[in-house]
Amino acid sequence: MKAVTVPSPGGLERLELTDRAEPGSPGPGEIRVRIRASSLNFHDYGVVSGMIPAADGRIPMSDGAGDVEAVGEGVDEFAPGDAVVSTFFPGWLDGPARVGDFRTTPGDGVDGYACEWVVRPATWFTHAPRGYSHAEAATLTTAGLTAWRALVVDAGLKAGDTILTLGTGGVSIFALQFAKAMGARVIATSSSDEKIARLQQLGADHTINYRAEPEWGRRVKTLTDGRGVDHVIEVGGPGTLPQSIEAVRIGGHISLIGVLTGRGGEIPTAKLMAKQARLQGLIVGSRTHQQEMIRGIEASGLRPIIDSTFSLEEIADAFRHEEAGRHFGKICLGW
């Protein structure tokens, strides 16, 4: 079978399309899945670029969607022909967060889904949403579930709330879509007027060009009559967190999801304390969270925003497209 591997050290120019043995029949509790699609995340970029060290020859990509071809003894949740999508933390089935690293994450600590077939425990997958393409389903494992957990599980989003999203990456776009589907108001930022127009088309109630307004936290306060937003989807990290703290309401909630601006920096802790806001870090979610999200997606009819799709052989070009930062929503691989 075809599989992409990451040599050690990594690098986009060093990604290899290899021919590996096709996996055999599933054992007890396992399913065999024909993988059809994946989607790109910043964490995957860290692995393939060498920023995140991985074992020599690792198969990358944490997101995988495809069709069940066979089930092992004792598997009754899935049947051949079912469309499925992978989970980010295969061992975190339910309950509170219990994983603090990526040692069990496909595409990092173990082989991922940049390949044609896998045989894995059935609990490593959930059903895909009814009517979704494989590429659409593949956007959910990391980006979709991160946004869902941040807003619904951790923040308790409800109709009438106001949220702030930063940028137009996969998590931020999903957050906008989930929030609008649940009756919330959305303030969205971008540095591109073209992307701002698309955010408005998706239902953003207010938009801010953060290059034109570097003190965008104050602008958010103005847009909310001085109150601030209930929830912030914070994907930037130390470079944007001070403005997010300015923008959040007293007693509000900030989901710290990304570190696109770096891993350390000065944070206005006194203002955070005065705001009495909750700053919560998170990494994706559990299998149960994913199943709940998919039920929500099926009830609302939400469809992900896919910027572009590349073939498996074009994986390096897909990541170069991500590097350029011109995408809006998710970049996918399909084969």
What pLDDT does 267 receive? 79
Same fold, 2-139+304-334 and 144-281: no
Host H or E run for residue 278 = strand 278-281
Flag residues of the chain having pLDDT under 70.
259-265
Domain 2-139+304-334 annotated CATH 3.90.180.10:
yes
Distances in whole angstroms, Cα of residue 280 to Cα of each of 46, 116, 118, 135, 277: 23, 37, 34, 30, 10
What pLDDT does 167 receive? 95
Taking the CA atoms of 152, 154, 159 and 164 in sequence, report the sign of the dihedral they define. Answer: negative
255: nearest Cα among 166, 144, 140, 151: 151
What pLDDT does 259 receive? 67
What pLDDT does 238 receive? 85
What pLDDT does 263 receive? 63
At a CB cut-off of 8 Å and minimum separation 6, what does 226 contact?
none
At a CB cut-off of 8 Å and minimum separation 6, what does 315 contact?
4, 15, 48, 114, 333
What pLDDT does 269 receive? 87
pTM of this structure: 0.96
Instruction: Give the domain ranges of the chain.
Output: 2-139+304-334, 144-281
What pLDDT does 328 receive? 96
What DSSP designation does 267 have? -
Taking the CA atoms of 260, 262, 264 and 265 in sequence, report the sign of the dihedral they define. Answer: negative
What distance in Å separates the CA atoms of residue 18 and residue 20, rounded to the nearest whole number? 6
Topology (CATH level 3) of domain 144-281: Rossmann fold (3.40.50)
Residue with tokens 């075809």: 2
Q: What are phi and psi of 305, to 5 degrees?
A: -95, 115
What pLDDT does 63 receive? 98
What pLDDT does 258 receive? 74
Amino acid at 226: G
What pLDDT does 265 receive? 67
Residues 189, 166 contacting (CB under 8 angstroms): yes
Distance of CA 316 to the CA centre of its chain: 19
What pLDDT does 159 receive? 98
- Sheet (strand 206-209) strand order: 206-209, 185-190, 162-166, 229-234, 248-256, 278-281
What distance in Å separates the CA atoms of residue 334 and residue 313, rounded to the nearest whole number? 10
Q: How many CB atoms lie within 10 A of CB 35?
A: 26
What pLDDT does 135 receive? 98
